Amino acid sequence: MRVIVVGAGVTGLTSAVCLAECGADVHVIARDLPLETTSAVAAAWWYPYRALPQDRVMAWARRSYVVFAELAADARSGVVMRDGVEVHRTPQPDPWWRSAVPDLRRVHDLPAGYVDGWSFRGPVVETAGYLPYLHRRLLQAGGTLTRMALGCLPTGGDVVVNCTGLASRALVGDTELLPIRGQVVRLSQVGLDTVWLDASGTSPTYVVPRSTDIVVGGTDEEGSWDLQPDLAIAQEIVVRARRLVPRLAAADILGHRVGLRPGRGCVRLERENREGASPVVHCYGHGGAGVTLSWGCAEEVAALVGYQNSRSELSSVPRSAS
């Protein structure tokens, strides 16, 4: 079966890998190559943030957790399992996604000013290594990736898969999609290996250590299309991050990045039959959780295309995708 996937962010690439490894003849078309996408800006910690509906998000997040934990065994994937701590200023019940992780524990030794919190071990996906890893896996399975900006979805192919994120607003006229602007600052590594999150303010404060740097955030500006980093906001982010993790006082600022999360009331993952054209499987609107949901969604995309057994294919990570 010939499948055209539009979009080479984490959603498009993961879907393409999944389909190609199931035996489909997959061709990815994208305006921006993987490292130029919103997905490349993501922090990208496993955390179901600003994506609905809860029941489907829970299933996709749980499945992705399992696949990422397997991928972490291969250093070339860019996936690293790390301890993460979420802290709160008021007592909280367990998070709604609690059963998606194997080992959530209450934390009692909290930083000053916090009264509740929990920790769990979860994947940090280092996108600079991970997106090229997915691209290699796609090529290995016989797929292709071509840069091309489309004015509308293609009509050819046996099936088209639409993974264009926020751009689906213009491409398929989905006005439910709105940008949620996120700004982050890259700091130098100072020996930190635990992820920290304080989601209690108007904007979340997070600290995500990676192999060679630390990403700190963030902002959450609904409706803003501005891709320019704001240096006053950056300064305020660094102050918040240093308050949460005082060791960051020793870290230097390496750079600034902004991305527009594809915000939508609910993730759109469904098949649409078009008169006189090939059917489309839409998969977009993942908000702040596109990485977190990527494998669960990709398997459902493959099933909607017609490959029901994608899960068993994926549980073995090909050793050759180096």
The contact set with ligand FAD (CB under 6 A) reads 6-12, 29-32, 37-39, 41-45, 47, 149-150, 163-165, 167, 171, 182, 184, 217-218, 259, 261-262, 284, 286-292
Closer by beta carbon to ligand FAD, 9 or else 78 = 9
Which residues is 122 bridged to in the sheet? 82
Closer by beta carbon to ligand FAD, 117 or else 262 = 262
Closer by beta carbon to ligand FAD, 115 or else 298 = 298
Minimum CB distance to ligand FAD, residue 287 (Å): 6
Which residue type occupies 38?
T
Minimum CB distance to ligand FAD, residue 108 (Å): 26
Minimum CB distance to ligand FAD, residue 257 (Å): 7
Closer by beta carbon to ligand FAD, 301 or else 321 = 301
Minimum CB distance to ligand FAD, residue 119 (Å): 17
Closer by beta carbon to ligand FAD, 113 or else 226 = 226
Closer by beta carbon to ligand FAD, 231 or else 250 = 231
Minimum CB distance to ligand FAD, residue 32 (Å): 3
Minimum CB distance to ligand FAD, residue 144 (Å): 14
